[in-house]
Amino acid sequence: MNQTSLKYVFLITALVALTIYFIMMNAATFQFHSVRDDFMDWHFANNPTSATWIGIHDYDGELPDISTKGREKERAHLLEVKEKLEAIDSETLNDNDRIDRQILLDMIESSFFNMDELQSFSWNPMQYMWGLGYAYESLLAYDFAPVEERADNLSRRFLATSEYLAQAQENLVEFSKPHLETAVKQAKGLAGMFDATIPEMAEQLQDDYRKNFEHNAGLAKQALEEFITFLESHQNNDSFRDFRIGRQLYNKKLFYTLKEGITAPEVMERAERHIRVVQNEMFVLAEPLYSEWFGEEPATDTHEDKLKMTRKVLDRIAEDHAPRDKVVEAARETIAELEQFIRDNDLLTLDDSKPLEIRETPEYQRGVSGASLQSPGPLESNLPTFYNVSPIPEDWTDEEANSFLEEYNTISMKILSIHEALPGHYVQLYYANRHPSLVRASFGSGVMIEGWAHYTEDMMVNSGLGGGDPRYSLVEKKWKLRGIANAIIDQKIHAERMTEQEALDLMINETFQEESEANGKWRRAQLTSAQLSTYFTGYILFLELLEDYKEQEGVDFTLKKFHEELLSYGSIPIRYIREMMIDD
């Protein structure tokens, strides 16, 4: 065979191999899309409140089946989907499909862990109050359809409430005391909707619609009051389940929560190393301010001396805060300044078409965190995003209220709004909603979401917010310490039996938190597990990504380019963002 013939043989062989590869790739892509689309259809039918949030309104009048039989059916279906996904060769998928396939597999494994091992459905009544509250609010707060249509679907959800709560009651076989106490408060707050928000919708209805709506609302309220009675009947139990989930469950839950291939010991090692680094940075900032404000050189011989010096400086900064009854207004007043700063410094492109509303946190959501961000789904492009801020409870003493106000002083309130709104959760989530994948919208990464928000606190101050005023850097680094402390207490409380006093000592003495904040965080650490570790973990991963991206881009690097590219991939684990942004 001559050389020309050999070339043709080689070329034909290569073309055949390439053709086979593309056939396999197209077959795998078609197979994945079929499995994915069938699963998402099932998911929305099985989780009607999630469907409403996303913008799929085929199930707006339904509540989920949370019974034992419902969980068994769910588990069987997830197992079937898992087997189908594992049969698909991920190497023949494009990057977007490959990542979405892995997100689905991770979600299924996490669901199995929750159903088979953690089993929070049997001991955490709070999840039922959140589920029911959001099922109502998603139809009350968002004007995605005429009020008559939303009221009709809400009325159907009212009718389904009794069965939903009966299933919840059957599921709950034991309680931890903090989960039970908080659920009672949330349930009473949810019941308050029937005396306030729900009547406002009723007033907009014609008489016939209104009578039926009010009748069904009355049935739902009665069912909720009976559930409250059930919960209260257990408040005097002789014994309660430990709110701590233990090392074995914690380590697994953290792994499934982070989805970054990082273990609990690795998170702890990084957190304990970083806490000293940030403290030392704060000591350097605090010393000249102390000398200027107090007219003397501070004692700095020991670590304890430096902590006292820094605490005194932070206490002076904290004196500038909003009045007790103006917390929500104080948050609202930060928005224009932050928006203008982002534009002036070209940090990323903002979208003026996405309305942001600052409001009081709905009562059924209170008791876990002081502020939150509640965005519409990707198919609801013109609905408002809610920046929820909890007002100071009326039963708090002046001392308790003042402690809270000092924690969220004027500068700290700006950091809070950076985190929750601009350019934190609010901006990140409307960028995420542009991605066409409903998989990413439905099963977002908490590490990416919280890590981005935590990263932006640091980024905004380093970019010049505050005009170089060292008070801004000091307060921002205090927030950084909060993120580190979150990770430490989260793990040590649940896996190492850290006591309340030990947790408070760390938060108040080592990370400068006010007593009200530390008490609230202790409460939150009792009620949640693994979530508090997402802030610090995500922040560190974003910093590492930033440094590698800077090195890769060289003179072409800009923060705007970095931010907009990483946000364009949606709320996916940071390791996948790294794969897309960093060349091998």
Backbone angles phi, psi at 280, to 5 degrees: -65, -35
C-alpha distances out from residue 142 to 54, 286, 376, Å: 12, 46, 8
Task: Please indicate, yes or no, whether residues 140 and 95 belong to a single structural domain of this protein.
Answer: no
Terminal Cα distance for the chain, rounded? 41
Tell which of 220, 243, 266 closes a domain.
243
Task: Please indicate, yes or no, whether residues 73 and 126 belong to a single structural domain of this protein.
Answer: no
Tell which of 243, 277, 298 closes a domain.
243
Least confident of 18-32, 57-71, 274-288: 18-32
**What residue numbers bound the domain in which 106 lies?**
3-118
Amino acid 381: pLDDT = 73
**Residue that is written with structure tokens 């402690």 in the block:** 403
Task: Please indicate, yes or no, whether residues 368 and 466 belong to a single structural domain of this protein.
Answer: yes
CA 106 to chain centroid: 17
The pTM for the full model equals 0.94
**Which amino acid is residue 137, in one-letter code?**
E
Q: 3-class SS at 357? A: strand
User: Under a CB-based contact definition with an 8 Å cutoff, are residues 184 and 121 in contact?
Assistant: no
Structure tokens given for 334:
């930060």
Task: Please indicate, yes or no, whether residues 361 and 503 belong to a single structural domain of this protein.
Answer: yes
Amino acid 208: pLDDT = 86
Amino acid 9: pLDDT = 52
Q: Using the 8-state DSSP alphabet, how is residue 556 labeled?
A: G
Mean pLDDT within 247-271: 98
Mean pLDDT within 119-137: 97
C-alpha distances out from residue 361 to 143, 364, 517, Å: 19, 8, 17
Amino acid 584: pLDDT = 78
Q: Which of 492, 98, 466, 432 is nearest to 268 (CA)?
A: 492
Least confident of 157-166, 213-222, 260-269, 362-371: 362-371
- The mean pLDDT of the chain is 95
Amino acid 530: pLDDT = 98
Q: State the total domains in the chain.
A: 3
Amino acid 21: pLDDT = 52
> Burial code of 355-385, b = ≥16 C-beta within 10 A, e = fewer?
ebebeebbbbbbbbbbbbbbbbbbbbeebbb
Distance CA 392, CA 418 (A): 21
Amino acid 365: pLDDT = 85
Tell which of 118, 143, 163 closes a domain.
118
8 pLDDT band, cuts 50/70/90, is low
Q: Which of 421, 324, 406, 411 is nearest to 372 (CA)?
A: 421
Give 77-118 pLDDT, tens digit per residue: 999 999 999 999 999 999 999 999 999 999 999 999 999 999
Give 459-505 pLDDT, tens digit per residue: 999 999 999 999 999 999 999 999 999 999 999 999 999 999 999 99
Task: Please indicate, yes or no, whether residues 382 and 485 belong to a single structural domain of this protein.
Answer: yes
Backbone torsion region of residue 409, taken as left when φ is above 0, otherwise alpha when ψ lies between -120 and 50, otherwise beta? beta
Give 132-160 pLDDT, tens digit per residue: 999 999 999 999 999 999 999 999 999 99
Amino acid 498: pLDDT = 99
DSSP 31-78: HHHHHHHHHHHHHHHH-HHHHHHHT--TTTT-----SHHHHHHHHHHH
Task: Please indicate, yes or no, whether residues 40 and 131 belong to a single structural domain of this protein.
Answer: no
Task: Please indicate, yes or no, whether residues 426 and 525 belong to a single structural domain of this protein.
Answer: yes
Amino acid 366: pLDDT = 81
497 within a domain of the structure (yes/no):
yes
Backbone angles phi, psi at 357, to 5 degrees: -120, 130
